[in-house]
């Protein structure tokens, strides 16, 4: 590759002023500039340099630009259906004994027989009972003129927090409501039923107005001189409109024993069942909105009420989106940000390891090459031992040892760098020694000796600079292999550990076959980054080798 073609005509015109054998006609380049020129002429090297610059910008500046942190987790809401309550319709008679009265199961069965056969009295254990039916589905059983129990399919329940109701009140309420429902009235305003079958309840409805409505419709009864009104959902209100009891054939029990079902929700659910609505929207007293779904299980004859709640969960393996360009990983962290920080870790580890290896290698190789003799022999045997040590197995053993010690991830990372650096110095030492051995014999070294320059000065100022080209090439190439080594270890779970990201441990997610097949955005970008970075180092290293070695570049 001669330079003649590249010389522009304009330059030639300028140079024609000099005579043919004038030195100034030859453009003299400094050695550095010459190397740079050769380097930039190599297309692969330039591509490698561009890749490297891009990777560095991505890793070191990208981390600053990214709006997210390395271990910032993201959450998302999911709709979760939880069983809230079960509603059972009472189809058989339920007996309630008066306070103090005995009305056991055997008597109940006799009463059942009597009621079913339409009898008005029966006898059990020598005691005679009479049955009255003041309303449909209500049977009042008395013995010796004393009411001992009643049987009904309606159940009287008290609002949460109230005291149990008097026995007389219960009978009166059931009587009134059963008779009223028989005449089919619609006095009080029931919860609103929307067209799609959703029942909407607003907290804090006008209770007094409801009571007034009920009274206007004649849905009242009187117990102990007090007048109570009721609506057609079976809510019994006193004069002030406060609900004192609920009468209904439906029994609601919360799935969770600790949950108290609010009265208005109860009303809403019962209304929903009556009108066959499947959904109930409910605004609780604290303003939170709930949605309940009612499904009827024909087998167990239970209306199941499930609450649809939205739960905050980690946004795991989210697909790429405008917020997360590469989605999120298994911990709900932004993948792109992890990738940037992972690059930072991988590159820094590569540099530190190579720095350690080069430092040790230059010192040992320099000493060995310069002094020769037994020192050289000793150091070279040490190098031989290191060459013979299977490094990958040793790193795996040490990695699992660090696993067993449960080292802090940060300390572990430092150890990892030291181990990798310590295991890779021998090749550099060998290279430096070889170079120095040949340089030592050259005249300029004889000159340094003659001028009385000290030994450290001779090594550092005159030998090392001559070794630099080879050293730089070797270091650049080993940067790539170190990064691969680190990534492989991290992939096996023996290198950089969570919470630190590294390209290797990002890819290690593929050990879960589901991630490998379904979430390409987790591991393919990390693999490509890793490959590009290593490729960049190798291209640049190769280009530098060619640039430094003029013999190769003919």
Partner 1 sequence: MRTYIVKRIGISVIILLCVTFIIYGLMRALPQSYVETMAMQLSQAPGAKSFDEWMAQLNAQYGLDLPMPIGYVTWLGDFLTGNFGDSWKFNVPVITEFANTIGISFAMGGIAFVLSTVIAVPLGILAATHQYSKSDYIISALALAGISLPTFFFATLLKLIFSVGLGWFDLYGLMGRDFAQLDAVGQVLDMINHMIMPVVTLTVIQIGSLMRYTRTNMLEVLNADYIRTARTKGLPESKVIYKHAFRNTLIPLVTVIGGSLPGLFSGALITETLFMIPGTGYTSYQAMTGGDIPYTMFFLTFIAIITLLSNLLTDILYAVVDPRVRIS
Decide: is 392 part of the binding site for partner 1 (CB under 8 A): yes
Closer residue to partner 1, CB minimum distance, 232 or 546: 546
- Shortest distance, CB of residue 379 to partner 1, whole angstroms? 13
Scanning 114-122, 325-333, 400-408, 427-435 for contacts with partner 1 by CB under 8 A, the matching segment is: 400-408
Residue of 372, 379, 463 whose CA lies nearest to 429: 379
Cα gap 93→53, rounded to integer Å: 84
User: Which C-beta is closer to partner 1: that of 293 or that of 488?
Assistant: 488
Check: CB of residue 537 under 8 Å from CB of residue 487: no
Among the listed ranges 75-83, 133-141, 467-475, 511-519, the one in contact with partner 1 (CB under 8 A) is 511-519
CB 154 within 8 A of CB 249: yes
In the complex with partner 1, which residue's Cβ is closer, 306 or 488? 488
Minimum distance from CB of 526 to partner 1 (Å)? 8
Under the binding rule (CB under 8 A), the answer on residue 5 touching partner 1 is: no
Q: How many CB atoms lie within 10 A of CB 542?
A: 17
Q: Which of 249, 205, 202, 210 is nearest to 229 (CA)?
A: 210
Sign of the Cα pseudo-torsion (243, 246, 247, 248, in order): positive
Q: With respect to partner 1, which residue has the nearer C-beta, 239 or 385?
A: 385
**Binding status of residue 554 toward partner 1 by CB under 8 A:** yes
- Member of 484, 501, 544, 547 binding partner 1 (CB under 8 A): 484
Tell me: does residue 530 bind partner 1 (CB under 8 A). yes
Residue 455 C-beta: closest distance to partner 1, Å: 29
Between the alpha carbon of residue 113 and those of residues 95, 110, 305, 368, the distances in Å are 13, 5, 35, 112
Q: Does 551 bind partner 1 (CB under 8 A)?
A: yes
**Residue 79: how many other CB atoms lie within 10 Å:** 9
Q: Which stretch binds partner 1 (CB under 8 A): 314-322, 383-391, 440-448, 449-457?
A: 383-391
Residue 8 as a binder of partner 1 (CB under 8 A): the answer is no
CA-angle at 310, arms to 306 and 316, nearest 5°: 125
DSSP 451-513: TT--HHHIIIIIIHHHHHHHHHHHHHHHHHHHHHHHHHHHHTTSSS-TTS--HHHHHGGGGSH
* The one among 260, 394, 418, 447 contacting partner 1 by CB under 8 A: 394
- Among 69, 54, 147, smallest CA distance to 101 is for 147
Q: How far is the CB of 496 from partner 1 (least distance, A)?
A: 14
Q: How far is the CB of 348 from partner 1 (least distance, A)?
A: 18
Of 151-159, 168-176, 431-439, 514-522, the window that binds partner 1 (rule: CB under 8 A) is 514-522
**Contact flag: residue 193 with partner 1 (CB under 8 A):** no
Alpha-helix runs per DSSP H in 249-299: 263-274
Residue 432's nearest CA partner among 510, 340, 359 is 359
- Residue from 260, 378, 385, 447 that binds partner 1 (CB under 8 A)? 385
The CB-of-467 to partner 1 minimum distance in angstroms stands at: 20
**C-alpha triplet 234, 238, 243: angle, nearest 5°:** 50
Cβ distance 377 to 385 under 8 Å? no
Q: Coil, strand or helix: which one is 76?
A: strand
In terms of CB distance, is 217 or 398 closer to partner 1? 398
Question: In the bound complex, what is the minimum distance in angstroms from residue 389's beta carbon to partner 1?
Answer: 6
Total Cβ atoms within 10 A of residue 413:
22
Q: Of 211, 266, 243, which is closest to residue 86 (Cα–Cα)?
A: 266
Least CB distance from residue 392 to partner 1, whole Å? 6
Does 531 interact with partner 1 (rule: CB under 8 A)? yes
Alpha-helix runs per DSSP H in 202-316: 207-216, 263-274
Interface positions, 36-65, toward partner 1 (CB under 8 A)? 43-44
304 vs 488 by CB, closer to partner 1: 488
Q: How many residues does the chain have?
A: 554
Q: What does the alpha-carbon distance between residue 268 and residue 234 come to, in Å, rounded to a whole number? A: 12
Asked if 250 touches partner 1 (CB under 8 A), the answer is no
Nearer to partner 1, 8 or 554 (CB): 554
- The interface with partner 1 within residues 485-504 (CB under 8 A) comprises 487-488, 491-492, 504
Candidates 237, 539, 547, 548: give the one binding partner 1 (CB under 8 A). 539
Output the smallest distance, CB 530 to partner 1, in A.
6
* Residue where the block lists tokens 């441990």: 505
Q: Which of 302, 398, 437, 439 binds partner 1 (CB under 8 A)?
A: 398
Which DSSP state fits 58?
Answer: I
The site for partner 1 (CB under 8 A) is made up of: 1, 43-44, 381, 384-385, 387-390, 392-394, 396-398, 400-401, 404-405, 480-481, 484, 487-488, 491-492, 504, 507, 510, 513, 516-517, 520, 523, 527, 530-531, 534-535, 537-539, 542, 551-552, 554
């Amino acid at each position: 590759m001669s330079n003649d073609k590249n010389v522009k005509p304009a330059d030639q015109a300028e140079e024609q002023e000099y005579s043919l054998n004038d030195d100034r006609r030859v453009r003299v380049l400094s050695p550095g500039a010459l190397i740079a020129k050769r380097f930039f002429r190599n297309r692969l090297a330039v591509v490698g340099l561009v890749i490297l610059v891009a990777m560095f910008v991505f890793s070191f500046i990208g981390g600053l630009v990214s709006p997210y942190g390395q271990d910032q987790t993201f959450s998302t809401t999911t709709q979760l259906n939880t069983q809230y309550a079960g509603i059972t319709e009472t189809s058989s008679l339920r007996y309630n004994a008066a306070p103090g009265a005995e009305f056991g199961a055997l008597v109940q069965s006799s009463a059942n027989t009597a009621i079913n056969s339409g009898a008005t009295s029966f006898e059990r254990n020598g005691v005679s009972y009479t049955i009255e039916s003041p309303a449909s589905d209500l049977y009042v059983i008395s013995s010796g003129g004393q009411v001992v129990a009643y049987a009904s399919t309606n159940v009287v329940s008290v609002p949460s927090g109230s005291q149990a109701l008097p026995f007389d009140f219960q009978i009166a309420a059931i009587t009134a409501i059963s008779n009223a429902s028989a005449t089919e009235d619609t006095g009080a305003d029931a919860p609103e039923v929307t067209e799609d079958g959703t029942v909407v309840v607003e907290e804090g409805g006008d209770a007094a107005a409801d009571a007034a409505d009920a009274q206007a419709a004649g849905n009242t009864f009187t117990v102990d001189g007090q007048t109570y009104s009721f609506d057609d959902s079976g809510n019994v209100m006193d004069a002030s409109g406060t609900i004192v009891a609920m009468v209904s054939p439906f029994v609601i029990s919360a799935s969770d024993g600790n949950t108290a079902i609010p009265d208005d929700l109860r009303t809403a659910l019962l209304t929903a069942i009556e009108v066959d609505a499947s959904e109930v929207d409910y605004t609780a007293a604290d303003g939170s909105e709930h949605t309940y779904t009612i499904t009827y299980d024909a087998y167990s004859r239970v209306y199941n009420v499930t609450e649809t709640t939205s739960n905050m969960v980690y946004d795991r393996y989210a697909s790429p989106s405008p917020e997360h360009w590469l989605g999120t990983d298994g911990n709900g962290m932004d993948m792109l940000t992890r990738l940037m920080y992972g690059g930072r870790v991988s590159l820094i580890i590569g540099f530190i390891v190579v720095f350690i290896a080069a430092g040790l290698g230059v010192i040992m190789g320099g000493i060995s090459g310069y002094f020769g003799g037994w020192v050289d022999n000793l150091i070279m045997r040490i190098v031989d031992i290191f060459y013979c040590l299977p490094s990958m197995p040793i790193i795996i053993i040490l990695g699992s040892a660090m696993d067993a010690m449960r080292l802090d991830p940060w300390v572990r990372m430092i150890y990892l760098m030291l181990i990798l650096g310590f295991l890779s110095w021998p090749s550099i030492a060998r290279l430096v020694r070889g170079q120095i051995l040949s340089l030592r014999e050259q005249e300029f070294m004889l000159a340094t000796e003659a001028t009385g320059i000290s030994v450290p000065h001779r090594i550092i100022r005159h030998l090392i600079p001559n070794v630099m080209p080879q050293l730089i090439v070797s270091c650049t190439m080993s940067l790539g292999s170190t990064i691969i080594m680190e990534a492989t270890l991290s992939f096996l779970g023996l290198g950089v550990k969570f919470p630190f990201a590294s390209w290797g441990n990002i890819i290690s997610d593929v050990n879960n076959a589901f991630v490998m097949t379904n979430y390409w955005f987790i591991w393919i970008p990390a693999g490509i980054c890793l490959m590009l970075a290593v490729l960049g180092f190798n291209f640049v290293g190769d280009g530098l080798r060619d640039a430094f070695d003029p013999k190769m570049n003919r």
